[in-house]
Structure formats: structure tokens, C-alpha cells
Structure 1
Amino acid sequence: MDKDSQTVIDQLTRAVTESGLSQAAFATALGTSPSRFSTYRSGKTKPTAQFFLRARRISHALHAAREYRIMTAPATATAVREASDTDWAWRMLLQGRDHLRLLLQRRDGSEAAWEAAPGTTGHAGFDVLLAVLTAHEFEAAGEDPPEWTRVEALPDPWVPEHPFLERDEIIEQTPDYLAQANIFVPARDLVTA
């Protein structure tokens, strides 16, 4: 194997370690399959320069986010999936969204940690909501949303139960960007202190 190919393999191995994710989760984060990523790491297939640079950039951002205890899209999806109840899942989702806002305000490239595609939350509604909220935050900051945020609207309306609003009130108070995804949550429930 030539030196350049070995360097690519070594750098991809280092990127997986630096990301803090498993090889399969890191492959998902990069938008490729675990089997395809495995062929890159074995040298059977050569990744494009763009893929290679993206893997390094995202692994650095994931590492920095972990060091500073900043949630990323993969970490947020995991927190929602592992939540003990729905209220805690909502808190984790909004905390992740708030961390994304902080990274986008920094304008130093650290938002690349949110370019990493998450695994599933275990709930189709939360999966789409995470994607839609992430895209909304990137757009509000004047940035292009990550590819993984381009999702289809839910096939059926998702109107989570509310402690004091009726269904029609929830639908009426939902921001357009959520309603387009067939998700109905009052705008005030998306505000955090």
C-alpha cells in the first residue's frame, strides 16, 4: 500500500477515535453506511477528498463539543432515546437545540458538530422534530442546514398532549416551519430560559 493511502486510513481511524463515536455511528454521522466506511478504513476503497476532509472536520468538532460538554445532534438523539419519560425527552431536545444556538453564535466552525447526522431517537416525531429544529436554527443564523435535516413531513399530524391547551389551540399556535413538517407544538413551548 502506498504512503498516501496509508495516511488516509490512519487519519480516518484517528477521526473515529477523536469523534467519540463507534465506527458505525461515525459512518452514520458522515452520511454513509458502516460497510462503506469500513472499505475506506481498510483501503479497499478510496474516499473522495471532500469526504476525507469532512470526516476530519466533523471529528474535530465532535471532540471539542464533548470536551466542553456541548450537546451535538447524535448526543441529543441519544438523550431523547434514553429519556425516562416524554417530559425529559422534550428537555433534552430543547437543551440540544440551545447548545446548537450557542455554537452558531460563535461563528468559529464549531457548529460542524451538528453536521454529524444523528441516529434515531426511537420516535418518528422526535426524529423529524430534531431535524426541523436544527434546520431552522442554521437558517436563522444565515447558514446552510446540514444535509441530514432534509426530511419528509410526518405522514400523520403529531400533536403531543398539552397540559392546558386544546388541540385546535395547539395547531393555531404552532410556527409554520413545524406545521409544514406535520408537527404541532405551540411556539411558547419551544422557548427556554
Structure 2
Amino acid sequence: MKLDRDTRKVTAWLDRALADSGLTQAEFAAALGTSPSRFSTYRSGRTKPTAAFCFRAQRIAQGLAATRRARVMSAPVTAKIIRDTDDEDWAWRMLLQGRDHLRMLLEDGDDTVCAWEAAPPSTGSAGFDTLLAVLTRREFDQVGVEPPAWCEPRCLPEPWIPDHPFLTREQVIAKTPEFLKELNVFVPARDLVTA
């Protein structure tokens, strides 16, 4: 199939965005909220994406590249680290560090905050997925910036009450903030505070 000049430019633009993102094609497609097969048809020129999709792909890819250079976590990086560890304490630390990096970007008005618009892959835990989504949403809400679509948290079907080293199950439930209880996630408020 011979592509016209404009379509070739669009496919080159998307190829560049994919390379800049540092993600695989499947990961980048998911980060943009589309399927790998659909993204593949965009890159081949068989299907023409909207201009908005192209601009979003470029903006998010540039944000992901900038956060990598600055060694700042994004939502996909945070989720991947959580998924790849067997150490639950490390997973908690990385979740909070990712949230703190987002907070810093938002407070500084940094343009690379668009890296957090990239939908993360699953952490491998519905509880951590929900917690990452709700904490991300709260950070965006607190500065009056529209949160990304991916961080619309969904209530878990069953309560998620991670083991706590010092508190009983009942104490964890009692010390959990309402915004988490509504989602069936039970984590004491003090465990969400970082120094």
C-alpha cells in the first residue's frame, strides 16, 4: 500500500513518539488508551488517527522521555516497579515515591506532568491498582488540574486490607480515610504520609 505524503508524516510522527516514550508498542498503546492492534494500524497508515490522538501521543511521549531523563517516576514506571517486586514494603515505598514525584511536578507546574496522563499497566494487584489511581486523582484534584481518565478509581468487589506490622485489622479499618473506605481499600492515613 502506497501512502500519501501526509500519512507518511503521521506514521513517522507516531514512530518517533513510540521511540521517545521508552515503552513497547503494546505498553504505549495501553498508555494512550488504545489497543496494540489499533495503534499498529495507525503506525502502518492503514487507519488514520485523529489529530488529537497524534498530539496526545507526542505530548505524553515527550513527558515520559523527560521524566526518564530527570529520573522522576511516571504512572507506568510506578506500576511496573510495583509489579516487578516481591517485596511488599518496597512496593509501598515505590507507590508513595511515585505519588510524591507527581506532587512535585504538579506543585512546580512542570510540563512533564503529562507523563502521568499515560495509563499505567496493572501492578498485578487490584488493591495497588486502585490505590495508585485514587492517589493520582487526589493529587491532580488538589491543584485544580483535570485528572487523567485512567485514574477514575473503581470500588473493589472485596475489601483489600493489607497486613499491617503494628495494627490489627480492626484498627486499620478504623484509621482508614473515608475516600479509601468508599473504594473498599483499607490503609491507615498515616501510612500514606511521607517525610
Q: Provide the TM-score with structure 2 as the length reference.
A: 0.96
The amino acid of 2:98's aligned partner reads: G
Q: Check conservation: 1:76, 1:93, Cα contact below 8 A.
A: yes
Partner of 1:100: 102
Alpha-carbon distance, 1:4 to partner: 1.2
Partner of 2:46: 44
Alpha-carbon distance, 1:138 to partner: 0.8
Partner of 1:155: 157
Q: 1:114 aligns with which of 93, 113, 116?
A: 116
Partner of 2:8: 6
Cα deviation 1:129-169 (Å, max 9, x = unaligned): 11111111111111111100113210011111111212222
Q: Check conservation: 1:19, 1:26, Cα contact below 8 A.
A: yes
Identity %: 60
Partner of 2:56: 54
Which secondary structure state, in structure 1, belongs to the residue aligned with residue 94 of structure 2?
A: helix
Q: 2:84 aligns with which of 77, 82, 85?
A: 82
Q: 1:174 aligns with which of 168, 173, 176?
A: 176
Partner of 1:187: 189
Distance 2:114 2:181 in 1: 27
Distance 1:181 1:84 in 2: 25
Q: How large is the RMSD of aligned CA atoms in angstroms?
A: 0.9
Which secondary structure state, in structure 1, belongs to the residue aligned with residue 61 of structure 2?
A: helix
Which secondary structure state, in structure 2, belongs to the residue aligned with residue 157 of structure 1?
A: coil
Unaligned runs of 5+ in 1: none
Unaligned runs of 5+ in 2: none
Distance 2:70 2:180 in 1: 30
Runs of 4+ displaced beyond 6 Å? none
Partner of 2:27: 25
Distance 1:28 1:141 in 2: 26
Distance 1:138 1:27 in 2: 23
Alpha-carbon distance, 1:108 to partner: 3.1
Q: Provide the TM-score with structure 1 as the length reference.
A: 0.97
| Stretch moving more, 106-115 or 116-125 | 106-115
Which secondary structure state, in structure 2, belongs to the residue aligned with residue 98 of structure 1?
A: helix
Distance 2:143 2:182 in 1: 20
Distance 2:80 2:7 in 1: 34
| Stretch moving more, 79-88 or 167-176 | 167-176
Alpha-carbon distance, 1:95 to partner: 0.7
Q: How many residue pairs are counted as aligned between the two chains?
A: 193
Alpha-carbon distance, 1:102 to partner: 0.8
Alpha-carbon distance, 1:109 to partner: 2.1
Alpha-carbon distance, 1:105 to partner: 1.0
Distance 1:29 1:68 in 2: 20
